[in-house]
Amino acid sequence: MSRLNDSCDPAKTIDTICDHMNVHESCEKDPLENDDRDRSNFVRGLVQRSNEPARVPTGHLGSIPRRIVQFWDDLGRLPQDVRECMESWKKLERSGFELQVFDESSAREFIRIHLGSRYEKAFDKCYHPSMKSDYFRYSYIFVEGGFYVDADDVYHGTTIDHLFTDGRLKLQPFCYNIATAQMVPPSVFVNPEANQLSWIFYFNTTPLIAVRNHPIVERALLNATKSLEQETKGELPEVQAATGPGNLTRSVFEVVANESCPEEALLVVHDWEKTSTSKWPLSYRSDKRNWRLSNQQSYSDSRRAEEL
């Protein structure tokens, strides 16, 4: 009788099955919601697929403008260590690349002229400079095409010519281990079958390299716009989900998984860290200019308080 009672205990039954099958991992609680897990698995499939040369879709054969675009909200207060990161890209001017740097004012003007008042209003709803940079990069690359890179990324001097020979969207994959609160190295997570339940695969927003009018960039811009337009009952939107990597990853999933854009229109740049890395530490990362310290907080209010 006791044996029957034990077998009817759901917790004991699961433990027994896990012990018997030696598959403890499959019995762990998934830390991600279903939609997030679907997107992570989809990105993992893209990241770990064969890296053999793929046929470039006809609509993405055009070359990408050799133009590097950066953003810092207030160039009059550009930290010296960030300036050094930005200037590391200047050596590419000798290879025929053009560099353009925008601040909040010039970015807003670009959006107003090329996209109109709806998108200008959405840009103004970005409460933190990191959100403005996210929103501007989608806007610029969608309208003009080219190569957007974050201001705190350092160029290591390797050639990037091969990234401009066709119009595919080039993205850097990331993988975060929720259990350890650490990034998983690309040398580990790009390997076929590499995976853990605590890992989440996604795409970074830097670099963003594409031909103009790319459908994934268009969707990222539209999704970010809609997120910023939503009323949140006094709560500010979450940076990652509204404009950052969460938004971009969702956009890739929506466009490619729904087959409105072929997988071949996207090139996963597995070894981007050989070309560029985000510099740590930097002076701004220890204050409110770091979005991680300002997420869902009024950046403008905190900045005004610091200036008083």
Confidence of residue 52 (pLDDT cuts 50, 70, 90): low
Please provide the average confidence, as pLDDT, over all residues in the chain. Answer: 87
Tell me the pairing of strands 98-102 and 67-71. parallel
Query: CB 293: neighbour CB atoms within 10 A?
Result: 14
| Segment 10-24 mean pLDDT | 38
Does 149 have pLDDT greater than 90? yes
Residue-level pLDDT at 290: 53
Which has the closest alpha carbon to 71: 127, 153, 186?
153
Query: CB 262: neighbour CB atoms within 10 A?
Result: 16
CB proximity list for 81: less than 8 A, separation 6 or greater: 279, 282, 283
| Segment 128-147 mean pLDDT | 97
Mind listing the pLDDT tens digit for each residue in 234-255? 788 999 999 999 999 999 999 9
| Segment 51-77 mean pLDDT | 87
Residue-level pLDDT at 56: 83
Residue-level pLDDT at 6: 41
Q: Three-state SS string across 71-135, please?
A: ECCCHHHCCHHHHHHHHHHHHHHHHCCEEEEECHHHHHHHHHHHHCHHHHHHHHCCCCHHHHHHH
Does 191 have pLDDT greater than 70? yes
Mind listing the pLDDT tens digit for each residue in 151-174? 999 999 999 999 999 999 999 999
Confidence of residue 60 (pLDDT cuts 50, 70, 90): confident
Does 35 have pLDDT greater than 60? yes
Residue-level pLDDT at 297: 73
Domains of the chain with CATH codes: 30-50+57-307 (3.90.550)
Q: Which of 113-122, 206-215, 255-264 has the lowest mean pLDDT?
A: 255-264
Mind listing the pLDDT tens digit for each residue in 105-130? 999 999 999 999 999 999 999 999 99
Does 72 have pLDDT greater than 90? yes
Confidence of residue 282 (pLDDT cuts 50, 70, 90): confident
Residue-level pLDDT at 27: 61
Confidence of residue 293 (pLDDT cuts 50, 70, 90): low
pTM for the whole structure: 0.85
Which has the closest alpha carbon to 272: 194, 203, 199?
203
In the chain, what percentage of residues exceed pLDDT 70? 81
Separation CA 157–CA 175 (nearest Å): 25
